[in-house]
Amino acid sequence: MKQLAIGLYLLVTGFLLGFALCQAVYVAPNDAMQGEIFRIIYYHVPSASVAFVFFFLNLVGSVWYLVPREKPPVKFWRAILFCLPVEICIGVLMVIGAFLVAGAAKRVMLNSLTGVGLIWLVLYAGYRLVSWGPARQKEAADALAVASAEVGVVFCTVVLTTGPIWGRRAWGIWWTWDARLTTTLVLWLIYMSYLLLRRFAAGPQMQTLAAVLGIFGALDVPIVYMSNRWWRTQHPAPVFGGAQGSGMDPSMVGALLWNMLAWFSWGVLILALRYHVERQHQKIAAAKVERALAV
Amino acid sequence: MKKLAIGLIFAIPIALFGAVAYLILFSPSASPAALDHSYRQAAYAITWAIQLGYLAWLGMKWWLQKHGDHARKVNQ
């Protein structure tokens, strides 16, 4: 059953990536001013969105790791009660988003379905996390934190490479020390240092130090997001939620949303694989310690 | 067969990086439209190269964990 679900998810993700690529290359029109180079946005913006979401997940994992836990595992109904406010919030946000962003009934249905899927995902993940014992919860939170930071850095690297390629054609330069670009580079450096700390530091305090760094690193995410709203920047205006005159032509929004969905789907896939690898690594490390103590 | 598969997994991202370098450094500058096309292709190729390269590295790590000595001892 589990293998079937994974296979189905792989199929859907592959289809979505192929379909989104077709939308970006063949369906969406060229920009009147920029021409074809504008199509880089269909990979650049979704990558940035996925990176932000994963850095937020790193924050959740880091906070979860640092929260002291003394209580025994809770019962199922308590886990459900714990998850309920989160589910309701996500459900309401998704429904509002579906009505605000999507014009066609098809897209509304798609967004609602994604919302329902997300609600169940949160319900299940929340139940699993809350019903585990304190030690297991800590391990899971730490694995989630490191997995989301690493995958977030991968997506952030995509942003920092596709951006300059666009900039070279649009501005004539690869890089400029503009607020949006600089804050994004700082964000990437913070999470790279997080990963280097995890790779090279040793001792029992390493996870705690990394969790603290993860929390401070997450503070840069809203600064990156708001940078081209707060300051006058060379970077283009925001696609969503910008001032009057910003945004995209409706004929281009569909391609962007499909690419967002496809890259989110891909991101979740590699996040799940990275999380699994980290959990396995924890088990191997624990077994090593047990063997050393037994000798 | 396994070695061939591993080689292929790593060859695709490397080939994509090569394509990016070619598209940006040696693209014919005949017209702005052709240059735009090359740069767009380079951006898409580098995205896939990074993502597939990371997936290959992750897959390798997972495979080593599954078949490595430590994993065998833990499973025992």
pLDDT over threshold 80, residue A119:
no
What are the residues facing A35 on neighbouring strands? Answer: A31
pLDDT at A249 (0 to 100): 80
pLDDT over threshold 70, residue B2:
no
The closest CB to that of B37, out of A36, A158, A166, belongs to A36
pLDDT over threshold 60, residue A72:
no
Mean pLDDT within A45-61: 94
The helix/strand/coil state of A100 is helix
pLDDT at A224 (0 to 100): 92
Distance CA(A261)–CA(A46), nearest Å, equals 8
pLDDT over threshold 60, residue A266:
yes
When the candidates are 2.60.40, 1.20.120, 1.10.3470, 2.30.29, the CATH number that belongs to A2-73+132-236+247-294 is 1.20.120
pLDDT over threshold 90, residue A35:
no
| pTM as predicted | 0.83
Q: Which residues in chain A are contacts of B59 at CB distance < 8 A?
A: 273
**Confidence label for A103 from pLDDT (cuts 50, 70 and 90):** low
Lowest-confidence pick of A59-63, A93-97, A275-279: A93-97
| Best residue of B44, B48, B76 to probe chain A, by most A CBs closer than 10 Å | B44
Q: Which residues in chain A are contacts of B64 at CB distance < 8 A?
A: none
pLDDT at A145 (0 to 100): 94
Q: What is the pLDDT of residues A155-180, one digit of tens each?
A: 999 999 999 999 998 988 999 999 99
Q: Which residues in chain A are contacts of B62 at CB distance < 8 A?
A: 273, 276-277, 280
Phi (first) and psi of residue A31, to 5 degrees: -75, 140
> Which residue carries 């199509």 as its tokens?
A39
pLDDT at B26 (0 to 100): 75
Distance CA(A40)–CA(B29), nearest Å, equals 19
pLDDT over threshold 60, residue A54:
yes
Q: How many CB pairs under 8 A join A and B?
A: 79
One-letter identity of residue A201: A
Distance CA(A268)–CA(A20), nearest Å, equals 17
Q: State whether A274 and B58 contact (CB < 8 Å).
A: yes
A67-76 long-range contacts (CB < 8 A, ≥24 apart) are: A69/A134, A69/A137, A69/A138, A70/A134, A71/A134, A72/A133, A73/A131, A73/A132, A73/A133, A74/A130, A74/A131, A75/A131, A76/A127, A76/A131
The closest CB to that of B44, out of A43, A168, A291, belongs to A43
Q: Which residues in chain B are contacts of A168 at CB distance < 8 A?
A: 24, 39
